[in-house]
Chains A and B, each alone.
Chain A
C-alpha cells in the first residue's frame, strides 16, 4: 500500500493488528484476550524458566527427528514414484488419501502402539510431514526433462547413481518446496501430538495453564509457537528462492 506516495511494506500491517489486539485487551471486551503488552511481559517471564526450556528442547528434538525421518523416507519414495509407473500406481491412491486425511484420528493408534512418550510425538510428526514431501518429490521427478534421464542411462548410471547424482538435483526445487510444506505441517503435528498426549513438552504446559485459567501464559506460549513456525517457514522460503535457477534452466 502507498501512503503519500511512499510504499509501506505489507508486514507493517501486523503492527496495526497488534495495536488492535492491545486495545481489545485493554477494554476487556473478551475474557479470552488479555492485552498484548501483558502477554509480552509474561513471555519474558516464562521463556527463561526451566520448564519452558525443557519443553522447547523436547519439542525441538521431536520436530527434528520427525522431519528428518519424513525427509529420508519421503524423498526416495517420491522419486521412485516419479520414475516408476508401477510404484506410482500402487502408492499414489494412498498418498492422496493421507495427504488430506484427518491425521489427528490416527494419533490414538500411535499412542496405543508406542505409549505416551517421545516416540509417539516423533511418529506424529512423521505422519503429518511425510505425505506432502512424497507428493512434491514425485512432482519434481516427473518434471525432469526426458533428455536428462536418457543422458544418465546412456552413460550407464546405476540406479543409485541416477538417483543421487541426477534425479534428486534436477527435482531439487520441488523437493525443497515439499520439505518446507512438510515442515509447516510437522510443526502442527508436533503441537497436535503433544496436545493429545498431554503429559510431555508444550502439551503439558498447555494442560497446566488451561486448568489454572492462565490466559496470559497461554497466549505467550502461542506467540512463541507462532513465531517459531513463521521463522522456519521463512528460512526455508529463502533457501527455496536460492535454488530456483535449477528450475529455470530446464
Chain B
C-alpha cells in the first residue's frame, strides 16, 4: 500500500476527527479577505500539512485554530468543543520561536506550565524530559542567544510538547533553519510523532518536506483561500530516510503537488 491517494475537497475520513474547521471566513480590517468559507477536518493522531502559495492565509487559519485570532464567520471545533480562545488542548510552535531572551532553556520549555501554575519542581522535571526528547540535553542552563536557530526551534517544540496538548500547531517551524539541520529535524519529528500520538497541524513552504513528514497534505488556492485538493502521500515507513527520498511514491507526490501549485507562480 504505497500509492498516493487523492481526494476531492469534500472527502471526509472515517477516522476520528480532532479539529474541524467549519466554513470559516476571515476579513482583516481594511478589507483583505484572507479566508473564504473554508471547511476542513483534521484527523486524530495524524500530521496534516497546509501547503499553498505565499499570502494565501495559512498563518491566518492556524492562528484561528489556535484561538489567537477571531474568525469573521464560521467556527472551529476541537475535540467537539467550539474554539473561543486559546485552550490547554492546543499548543503553538512559532515561526520566529517566540522564546523569552531573559529566560534559560529550562524556564522557556517550562513556561507553558509556569503560566498554568504547575509547581517549580514538577514543571522542571517535565521540561527536562522534553529537553532530552528534542535532543538538547546539557543546554538547560543556556540562554536563547547562545543557541543556533535549529536549537532555538527545538526549544519551541519542547515547550509545546511539555504542556501535553493533544493538538500541536506549527507555523513554518523550520523556515529559519538551514537545510541540513532541517533534514535532521524532520527525521526527529517523525520519531516524535510516532511516540507522542498527537494531532499535528503543520504549515510549510517546502513540497518535499510536506510529502516527507505528512499523513495528509491540504493544498490551498490563492487568497481568498479555498481547499484545492487533499493528498495523502502514503509513504512506506520502516525504510531509511534516504530510501524514502528516492521512493517512487515520494517522487510522484512531489511532482503532483508541484504541478498543482505551479499555476500560482505568475
Direct contact of A and B (CB under 8 A): no
Chain B residues with CB under 8 Å of chain A are none
